[in-house]
Amino acid sequence: MALSNRACQAAKPKIKSYKMADGEGLYLEVTPAGTKLWRLKYRLYGKEKRISIGAYPDVSIVGARQAKEEIKKEIKAGIDPVLKRQQAAQINALNQQLDFKSMAMEWYWKQIPLWKPKHATIIKHRFEKYVFPFLGHFPLTEIKPLQMLNCLQKMEKTAPDLTRRMKAACSHVFKYAIATGRAENDPTYGLEAALKKFKRGHYASISVDEFPEFLTCLNDYQRHIHRQTFLALHLLLLTFVRTCELVEARWEEINFEKAMWVIPAQRMKMNLPHVVPLSRQALALFQELKEINAGREFIFTGYYNPRKPMSKNTMLVAIKRMGYNGKMTGHGFRALALGILKEKLGYSHAIADRQLAHVPKSSVDRAYDRAQFLPQRIQMMQEYADYIDKVR
């Protein structure tokens, strides 16, 4: 006979546990301590099993019967409710143990084969500096949008230009967690609406008309700086490569006979090899550097550790001390060269832009145009060096 609330309430403890049947395997077990527990007896694959549904009166008779019907549906589908509960408990325990830092590093190591070593180092550093101190030890599934926003807004105070990049990186972590069954949502979604607008400016660069004065200042300043630093600045002017591409250059990249510098793809921003035709003036500077740093791996060696390349900040400090702080940067040499090539020497934007290692937007053009305009670029680089001598 089915149980009633009165019967359940009136049940008293005895020396031993006893059962009060409700029907279809559901019963109330009364323990010697007076605890009343709902249990369901069922058979699956020929074996008799039991599962706990909860304690009375927290789980009412109606609630116990509803739970019984749900469990019977699972049994009919061949699902063992006890095993299902155990698996859910294990997953919940794992999710509690899985913090944001663990998931972020798991995602990070998945991306390593796709990134350049330098980029990988930068991404890891940003997580360690801006995100892990605030969210690293939080369980992944417990991080809410407000927590994520607080972290990003703290970052805005010191690194506003990186805030949106790190929001995107965190979003990738959550999407990876969702794809691998460790999370159900991305708490970074829509947070850009609550972040400050940030407009990145151009790198500081002098104009073409200011170039003669800058060149005079550079030549006058050479007695105040290390010879290698002066040569680096002059080669940055003559080749207008990126600062990191210059300071990390190796001797094996320079072909003195062909007057060519081939920067390998792994050192280039767009992962494509870049050819830099060398003028007579640039070759002379490289030859002098070879006498200074003969037998070294890097063309520009570190002052304190010759086995490492010179810091690019060395040139930036020199430019500041020349009085061009906020007016000129290492990257500014590229904008300056582009202006001279187009305004003073009459070269087309396409040829000059290719020498800057800017690639076409079309993937087809990128595949076939790696050395396009090379004869014109060889001539252009020599005329450009001669122009600098003329201005000097």
Residue 262 is part of a domain; what is its CATH number?
1.10.443.10
Domain that holds residue 131: 100-194
- Count of CB atoms situated within 10 Å of the CB of 313: 12
- Backbone φ, ψ for residue 41 (5° rounding): -95, 130
From 334, 347, 377, 384, the catalytic residue: 334
Q: Can you tell me which residue has the tokens 């031993």?
A: 16
Number of domains in the chain: 3
How far from 40 is each of 67, 240, 336, CA to CA, in Å? 9, 79, 82
From 49, 344, 358, 370, the catalytic residue: 358
What average pLDDT is seen over the chain?
86
How far is C-alpha 337 from the geometric centre of its chain's CA atoms? 32
In this predicted structure, what is the pLDDT of residue 51?
Answer: 85
pLDDT exceeds cutoff 70 at 361: no
Tell whether 333 and 368 lie within a shared domain: yes
Rounded Cα distance, 261 and 23, in Å? 87
The CATH code of the domain that includes 104 is 1.10.150.130
Rounded Cα distance, 256 and 290, in Å? 11
Q: Which of 72-86, 228-242, 319-333 has the highest mean pLDDT?
A: 228-242
From 320, 327, 331, 342, the catalytic residue: 331
Tell whether 257 and 327 lie within a shared domain: yes
Task: Write 244-250 long-range contacts (CB < 8 A, 24+).
Answer: 244/312, 245/274, 246/300, 246/312, 247/298, 247/300, 247/309, 247/310, 247/311, 247/312, 247/314, 247/315, 248/298, 248/309, 249/298, 249/299, 249/300, 249/309, 250/297, 250/298, 250/299
This prediction's pTM: 0.57
The identity of residue 185, as a single letter, is N
Lowest mean pLDDT among 102-106, 178-182, 381-385: 178-182
- Domain assignment present for residue 200? The answer is no
Q: Which two tokens stand for residue 52?
A: 């706990």
Our answer to whether residue 331 is catalytic in this structure is yes
Tell whether 259 and 387 lie within a shared domain: yes
Tell whether 142 and 246 lie within a shared domain: no
Is the Cβ–Cβ distance between 250 and 296 less than 8 Å?
A: no
Rounded Cα distance, 357 and 268, in Å? 9
Rounded Cα distance, 355 and 242, in Å? 11
Summarised one tens digit per residue, pLDDT across range 109-137 is: 999 988 888 889 999 999 999 999 999 98
Summarised one tens digit per residue, pLDDT across range 155-178 is: 888 888 789 899 999 999 999 999
Q: Count CA atoms within 13 Å of residue 335 on its CB side.
A: 14
Tell whether 267 and 362 lie within a shared domain: yes
How deeply is 386 buried, as exposed, middle or buried, from its count of CB atoms within 10 A (0-12, 13-18, 19+)?
middle
Q: What is the mean pLDDT of residues 278-304?
A: 91
Q: Can you tell me which residue has the tokens 């039991």?
A: 50
Q: What is the mean pLDDT of residues 346-355?
A: 89
Tell whether 179 and 72 lie within a shared domain: no
Tell whether 213 and 329 lie within a shared domain: yes
Q: Which two tokens stand for residue 305?
A: 């550790």
CA angle 234, 236, 242 (to 5 degrees): 170
From 189, 203, 303, 368, the catalytic residue: 368
Continuous segment of H or E residues that includes residue 275: strand 274-277
pLDDT band at 90 (very low <50, low <70, confident <90, very high): low
Tell whether 241 and 357 lie within a shared domain: yes
Tell whether 213 and 301 lie within a shared domain: yes
- Domain assignment present for residue 201? The answer is no
From 65, 182, 242, 274, the catalytic residue: 242
Last residue of a domain, one of 166, 194, 222: 194
In this predicted structure, what is the pLDDT of residue 255?
Answer: 94
Q: Can you tell me which residue has the tokens 């972040």?
A: 195
Our answer to whether residue 224 is catalytic in this structure is no
- Domain assignment present for residue 306? The answer is yes
Is the Cβ–Cβ distance between 127 and 163 less than 8 Å?
A: no
pLDDT band at 140 (very low <50, low <70, confident <90, very high): confident
- Domain assignment present for residue 379? The answer is yes
In this predicted structure, what is the pLDDT of residue 93?
Answer: 54
pLDDT exceeds cutoff 60 at 12: yes
Tell whether 273 and 240 lie within a shared domain: yes
pLDDT exceeds cutoff 70 at 277: yes
- Domain assignment present for residue 226? The answer is yes
In this predicted structure, what is the pLDDT of residue 144?
Answer: 93
Our answer to whether residue 358 is catalytic in this structure is yes
Tell whether 185 and 225 lie within a shared domain: no
264-274: burial string, b at 16+ Cβ within 10 Å, e else: eeebbeeeebb
Q: What is the mean pLDDT of residues 35-44?
A: 88
- Domain assignment present for residue 90? The answer is no
In this predicted structure, what is the pLDDT of residue 82?
Answer: 78
Rounded Cα distance, 61 and 6, in Å? 11
Residues listed for the chain: 392
Rounded Cα distance, 179 and 103, in Å? 12
Tell whether 141 and 259 lie within a shared domain: no
Is the Cβ–Cβ distance between 302 and 311 less than 8 Å?
A: yes
Our answer to whether residue 368 is catalytic in this structure is yes
Last residue of a domain, one of 167, 194, 221: 194
Our answer to whether residue 242 is catalytic in this structure is yes
Last residue of a domain, one of 81, 109, 128: 81
Three-class DSSP category at 20: strand
pLDDT band at 350 (very low <50, low <70, confident <90, very high): confident
- Domain assignment present for residue 32? The answer is yes
